[in-house]
Amino acid sequence: MITFNNTDVELKICVMGSFAVGKTSLVRHFVEEHFDSQYVNTIGATIKQRCLEWDNKNILMNIWDMEDGVAVSESSYLWGANAFLVVCDLARLQTIPVLWSMVRQLRLHYPQVPIVAAGNKVDLVSQPRLSLPDDLQPFIDHVVFTSAKTGENVYRLFSVVVSKILSPILASS
C-alpha cells in the first residue's frame, strides 16, 4: 500500500526470518530506540509504526514483524507489502539457508516487491559475511549487516528499505 496525501507516504514492510534471528529486536530498536535481551516469540504478526522524513516526505512505516515459518504462498499477512526485510543470524549459520529459501519463495510470489537482507548480530562475529548464492544475486536488492543489540546499522537498514521502495516511484513521477 503506497498512499500519497500531499507529502505523506504510508508503507507496509514485512520483516521475516527464522526464529530468534533478531527480527523483533531490530524492529523494536528502530521504532522504540532500545534493545531488550528477553526473547519473546512472535505469534502471527506484530505491527509497529514509525514516522520518518525521507526526500522531503513524511513516511509512515507500518512494520509487520512476522512469526517464524510464515508460508509465503499462503499468508494473507504479506498481501500489500511494499518491501520484504529478510533477516538471518550471522552467529547461527543454519539460519542463512532458510533465508535463501524464503527469498526464492518471495521472488516467485511477489516478483516486483523489493527484498532487503539483514545479516543480524554482527556484534557476535569477528568477520561478518553473507555470501549470496549465484541464483539469488538478482533477487536481493541490498544486504546490510546489523546489530539490534548495539544499534549498528539499524536505522540505515530501514532507510535502505524505504529507498528501495520509493526511489523508483519518485523517479518516475
- Per CATH, which fold does 3-172 belong to? Rossmann fold (3.40.50)
- What are the b/e assignments for 43-65, b being 16+ CB within 10 Å? eebbebeeeeebeeeebebbbbb
H and E: helices and strands count for the chain: 3, 7
pTM: 0.88
Query: Does 29 score more than 80 pLDDT?
Result: yes
Q: Where are the chain's structural domains?
A: 3-172
The residue that leads in pLDDT, 148 or 34, is 148
The three-point CA angle 98-127-145 to 5° equals: 55
Query: Does 84 score more than 70 pLDDT?
Result: yes
> What is the average per-residue pLDDT within 13-29?
94
Mean pLDDT of the chain: 87
Tally Cβ neighbours within 10 Å of residue 108.
Answer: 11
Task: Identify the three-state secondary structure at position 101.
Answer: helix
pLDDT band for position 173 (50/70/90)?
A: low
